[in-house]
Amino acid sequence: MDPRLAHVRHWIFDLDNCLYPAETRLFDLIDERMTAYIARLLSVEADEARRVQKAHFHTHGTTLRGLMHEHDVDPHHFLDDVHDIPLDRVCNDERLARGLARLPGQKLVFTNGDAPYARRVLEAIGIGDAFEALHDIHAAELRPKPDAHGYRLLLDKFAIDPARALMVEDMAQNLKPAKDLGLTTVWVDNGSERGNHGHHPDFIDFTIRNVGEWLETITKEDQ
């Protein structure tokens, strides 16, 4: 193990665009379904639905939270609808599976999605058995990252010592609450935030490009 990470016993991973590469563009399918959902809900054209969708995302952290606050949308109905996508874009990742298996301690997924969708994606990647548990949007009491509430619930539920925990995320803003709580932070720089948020050295400890590649490096697998 990389000596800089020898203290870590709780490994917390985001799901979308993190445990699978962003270039698979799986989340694009969810994004399209969210736009269509809003178009039906508000009886508007796709362009207006898209505008509303992104406004909610930037104002409330997720589109769902905005729809709940401003349009009284049922979160279960919304999540079931937007996650009803094929997963053929996601490939089995044996390198990632090996890397996760070598990590010492507890491994968890913390996602703004829901558990049924997350389990489907993890199975498609071939890492369905790699994690002890999922902490989804319902476990976070529908308060999505970067709201610190869900992070605190996660730490309490799984008796996580923040000083011995690490969080891996592709959205830099979601790492700030983790750092504030005392976790080590790893940003997966997949290019989506470049030019918008830039680098955040004050609350990002490590910057990587690919989780499987990073796990090979820190666990020093023989090549």
The enclosing domain of 48 has a CATH number of: 1.10.150
CA–CA dist 211, 223 (Å, integer): 16
When comparing pLDDT for 195 and 166, which is higher? 166
Report the chain's mean pLDDT, rounded to a whole number.
93
- pLDDT of 195 reads 40
Strands 184-188 and 133-135: unpaired
Residues 169 and 110 both lie in one domain: yes
pTM of the predicted model, to two decimals? 0.92
User: Sheet holding 133-135: strands in order across?
Assistant: 133-135, 106-110, 10-13, 165-169, 184-188, 206-208
Residues 95 and 59 both lie in one domain: no
Residue 223 inside a domain? The answer is: no
The pLDDT > 90 percentage for the chain reads: 87
Strands 165-169 and 106-110: unpaired
Domain extent for 34:
26-82
Q: Domain containing 163 — which CATH number?
A: 3.40.50.1000
Please name the helix (run of DSSP H) or strand (run of DSSP E) that holds residue 208, with its range, or none: strand 206-208
What is the per-residue pLDDT across 121-165, written as a single tens digit (0 to 9) for each? 999 999 999 999 999 999 999 999 999 999 999 999 999 999 999
- Structural domains counted in the chain: 2
- pLDDT of 60 reads 85
